[in-house]
Structures are given as structure tokens and as C-alpha cells.
Amino acid sequence: MDSQSVLATLQQRYANEPEFVQAVEEFLLDVAPVYDENATYQALSLLERMTEPDRIFQFRINWEDDQGNVQVNRGWRVQFNNAIGPYKGGLRFHPSVSVSVLKFLGFEQIFKNALTGLPMGGGKGGSDFDPKGKSDAEIRRFCYAFMRELGHHIGADVDVPAGDIGVGGREVNYMFAMYKNMTREFTGVLTGKGVGHGGSLIRTEATGFGLVYFLERMLEANNDSMQGKKVLISGSGNVAQYAAEKVIELGGVVLTLSDSKGTLHIKDGLTQEQLEWVKQQKLDRKPLSDFTAKFGGEWLDGQRPWHIAADIALPCATQNEINGDDAQNLVKNGVKYVAEGANMPSDMDAINVFQDNQVRYAPGKAANAGGVAVSGLEMSQNSLRQYHTFETLDQQLKQIMTNIHDTCVQYGKQDDGFIDYKKGANVAGFTIVANAMVNYGTL
């Protein structure tokens, strides 16, 4: 079957999974030409196989709240593709989590992980549990309960989860504790563990730092640099925080952060001291809007950052946070570079606007791969039973982001010299996974 027929079938079969279908559509815009001229790929039905998860586990999570009532949530793990390594990808705890969202994330993860050059397949999981407003004890009880079910399906050489939205170091530690208790094994079954008990240095910073390392390479490719650049960042969680930290370190000006309630606009640029306050505020699960009472700046209630004039946009919040109109605003207000810290933050209309206007646009599967890359380095440290230093790992992260950038250039450079990072990332990621599947034959 050619790619259009595969897509048409998916669109029909999964009409109720819009995020997943969107991720496949976006991928196929670049991969279809490669796929459709390759008889071997089609004879092996590679696309049908790549777009259908190997398996999906669904389970119920009972947990006791602080009032002694039993609460019930749903949990899933999508094991999408293990052609090049154990399933690997984060866990998301957010009320919006559904099979569709996890399939889109798992699908993207396959190619992102391939681009890192490390042996990791693609997977994703999570729950519709909402950590907002929960006490530490409730979070702990939920994490234990979640792992009591998930623990049956994962393993250091099988499937290695990590964090994502709503799941940070604290949650990973609780889940690891339950797995260790259930199996009596201390293995690299989760990444993002605490430093000193299996975790890797720089894992916390990796997605944000890696994003800015990638951006630096994009700027270099245009004989440009970070110095003095005005940067819009959305989100204020793990990715946004460490992206902001690296931008500040490199002499850029961070104009915004945001949360689900609105945007913080700091005209003179966020300082490191203010960023430390934001980190603590988020850890305490308190609102970003408290910032202005302490430090000044402007709170834009209910707004996203995309109407503010800047040079660079780093969407680091969540999927579909930039639509076509937002993208038009960004272009109109001078943005020349967009690098995605979140997964699929730009919708299809937005991507079209970027491409029509020659905006240098790096999709999440390339630009935010630093997080999972250091997860891969955590897995190898766990297997070796050794720890590497911060400097070594930072160097490795930088090298991996440079390699991904260069791979995107190799597969995405147009005749006029313009670099289509999206095409580069999609075609390169697909090629790596497809080659492995071809070598395996029909299994």
C-alpha cells in the first residue's frame, strides 16, 4: 500500500484519535516521497507496522486521598516500536492524557530516539491523574499505585519509562521505589532517578539545555549568535526552566514564561535569581502570576506569549499551543527561529506559516531530544554500574545535539540552501528505524 492509502485507512480507523492522526499526517508530508518510491518498504508494509503500536496496556489505578477516600484513575503504557532498542519514553500525568495523546507522543518518540543515535525504541505512558492541588502524600500514594500496575510490563531491557508533563524527579523516585520493592531488583528500569541512587547528572537540565544547544547550531548555520536575542519561552516547567537558564547564560534575553493561566512578560529579561524563584514556585505547585507582586513585570491573564515582538520562539508548554494565527503574529513581530521544547506544540497551520515565511523551524523530535538522549546515557551508566561527571555528560549532550542538527541539515537542505529541519528530522528518523525493520524481514 502506498503512503496515502495507509494514511486514509488510519484517518478512518482512528478518527477519534485526532492528536495521533495529526502526528502521522505531519510525518508523512516529508516521508511519503521516500516511502512511495521504495518497493521493499511497501512489500514489508513498514508504514502500516510503524503506525500501529506493538501493544498498549491499560489499567486501573486505585489510590487513597488525604480524606481516606479511594480515587480511581486510568493508566496506560504504549509500547510502540522496539526495532532499535528497548521501548523508551516518558510518563505523563495530566487530565488531558488519553490513548490518542499517548499514541502521538509514542509515535514521535520512535523517531526522536532514533535521531539521538542511541539504542532506544519508542514508547510513552501516563495517566489522567491531575497532580494539581494534590498533597505530597497523595502524589506518593498515586505513584506507588501506578507502578504497582505498570511494573508488570516494563524492565531495564524491555521498556524504560521516565518523566514528562506532571512527572519529575520526585515522581520517578517514588515509582522506582515501588518497582524495586516489587522485583527486589536495582536496575535501570526508569530514568530521571535521583542523583546518588541511579540517576544521571544533567538529566534534569537536559531537555532545556539540549534545546538551546540545538538552537545555537541553528544560529551558527545562519552566521548568527544568541547574544542579545529576544526569546519568547512558553511554559514554566522543567523544559522551560532550563531552556531559560541556558539562554540567559549565553547572553540572550528571556522575555516570557507562561502557565495554563497566562503569560509573564518581563521586558528587561528574566534574571537567574528570578528563575530560581520560579523553580521553587513550581515545585510548590503555586501560580506563576505571583511573580509580579515580588519582582514586577506584567501578567497577561489568559494569554499566550506569541503576540510579543522577539527574535526567537521556544514553545516549551504542550501540544498545539501555536496555531496558524499565532504563527502569523510571530512572523509579523520578527521571529526568525522556532525550536520546539514541547512535543508537537505547533499545529499544521502554524508549521505551514513558518515554512512559507522561511522561518527556521526545528520540530520537537529533533530539538527536544536532549532529554531522552541523557536518559540513554543514564541507561548506559546503570548497565556499567558507573557514573560519569557533569562535564563529560554535558559534552556528550552537546555532541548529540550537534549530530542531530547536522543530520537534519544532511536530509533537509533544499537546493536554495534553506534548511528544512522538519523534513530532515522526519526522513532521517524514519530511515534509521526502517533500515532496522528491513533487516529483520517480516517480523
Q: Which residues are annotated as a binding site for substrate?
A: 88, 109, 112, 163, 375
Cβ proximity to ligand GLU: between 162 and 312 the closer is 162
Tell me: does residue 159 bind ligand GLU (CB under 6 A).
no
Catalytic residue among 103, 124, 246, 422: 124
Q: Judge whether 332 counts as a catalytic residue.
A: no
Of 297, 345, 371, 429, the one binding ligand GLU (CB under 6 A) is 371
Cβ proximity to ligand GLU: between 120 and 335 the closer is 120
Cβ proximity to ligand GLU: between 54 and 224 the closer is 54
Tell me which long-range contacts 296-299 makes (C-beta under 8 A, separation of at least 24). 297/264, 297/265, 297/266, 297/267, 298/264, 298/265, 298/266, 298/267, 299/262, 299/263, 299/264, 299/265
Tell me: does residue 131 bind ligand GLU (CB under 6 A).
no
In the complex, minimum distance from the CB of residue 370 to ligand GLU, in angstroms, rounded to a whole number: 9
Beta strands in 262-381 (DSSP E): 262-265, 298-301, 312-315, 337-339, 360-362
Binding-residue total with ligand GLU (CB under 6 A): 11
List C-alpha distances in Å: 60 to 76, 129, 137, 147, 401: 9, 11, 20, 11, 38
In the complex, minimum distance from the CB of residue 147 to ligand GLU, in angstroms, rounded to a whole number: 16
**Nearest by Cα to 19 from 92, 108, 89, 79:** 108
Applying the rule CB under 6 A, the residues between 269 and 288 that interact with ligand GLU are none
Angstrom distance (rounded) from CA 80 to CA 108: 10
Tell me: does residue 127 bind ligand GLU (CB under 6 A).
no
Q: What is the CA 406 to chain-centroid distance, rounded?
A: 20
Tell me: does residue 375 bind ligand GLU (CB under 6 A).
yes
Amino acid (1-letter code) at residue 132: K
Buried b (16+ CB within 10 A) or exposed e, 338-374: bbbbbbbbbbeebbebbbeeebbbbbbbbbbbbbbbb
Contact 189, 176 (CB under 8 A): yes
Tell me: does residue 372 bind ligand GLU (CB under 6 A).
yes
Tell me: does residue 164 bind ligand GLU (CB under 6 A).
yes
Applying the rule CB under 6 A, the residues between 64 and 93 that interact with ligand GLU are 88-90
Cβ proximity to ligand GLU: between 161 and 252 the closer is 161
Of 98, 343, 381, 382, the one binding ligand GLU (CB under 6 A) is 343
Contact 405, 151 (CB under 8 A): no
Cβ proximity to ligand GLU: between 35 and 111 the closer is 111
Question: Catalytic site residues?
Answer: 124
Q: Which residues bind ligand GLU (CB under 6 A)?
A: 88-90, 112, 162, 164, 191, 343, 371-372, 375
